[in-house]
Amino acid sequence: MLERINLVPRETATGNVWLAVYVSVAVVFVLSCFSVYLIRQSTVRKIGEIETKMNALSQYKLSAVNIQKNVHDLAEVVRQKKAILNTLSSEAERVKGVGSKKYVYSMALRSIAMELPGSVRCNDISFVKGDGSIAGEAMSYEELPGFVDKLKRHDIFERVSLIEIDRGMARKSSGSYSFKIEFSLKQKTTSWPGEDNG
């Protein structure tokens, strides 16, 4: 059999192969670029989310620092207010004590003024702790024992006594007597303000 030999050169498949290689490389390059673009976009988006979270965390941290500073400032203000309150409480207790003492002394002075006879003049009324004294002048001796008895009837006084009476040379011409009465205050039986007696 005879075979035919073609002597005309034909296009070889190598051209087609090169074309397929070029197209394949181009497709791979385009796909690679697209993949890189997608990865870059995903990375940029994740970095943006991370930055947003970091900003939020820094804001929370700043807020926490501000809150902690405010709590510290408030604690300092509360401490100062407590110190002021303690000072005011001690001052109030002191004033309350002074007020109750003045109340007892004013009750004693009121009782003395109420029972003081018209012919008797007080020159000095003094109090030392729970004791007191009245010094003055009387036109007649007879009114002094009655004055002492009237003071004894008041609840605020105890141990009232006329301890000194003098009719000096200067007073003989005027007919007056100098006297001194001493007494103690019944602090336990007296109703003190802010104190229960029951």
Structure tokens given for 95:
């004033």
Alpha-carbon span 37 to 43, nearest angstrom = 10
Number of domains making up the chain: 1
| Antiparallel, parallel or unpaired: β 120-128 and 157-166 | unpaired
> Considering the domain boundaries, does residue 43 fall inside one?
no
State both tokens at 138. Answer: 């009387």
Alpha-carbon dihedral angle through residues 142, 146, 149, 153, given to the nearest 10 degrees: -170
pLDDT in tens, the chain (198 residues): 677 776 766 666 666 788 888 999 999 999 999 999 999 999 999 999 999 999 999 999 999 889 999 999 999 999 999 999 999 888 888 777 666 667 788 888 888 999 888 888 889 999 887 889 999 998 888 888 889 999 999 888 888 999 888 876 545 556 788 899 999 888 644 443 444 443
Domain, as residue range, for 137 = 55-192
Answer whether residue 31 is part of any domain. Answer: no
Q: Please indicate, yes or no, if residue 79 is contained in any of the structural domains.
A: yes
Domain annotation covers residue 4: no
- CATH at residue 155: 3.30.1360.100
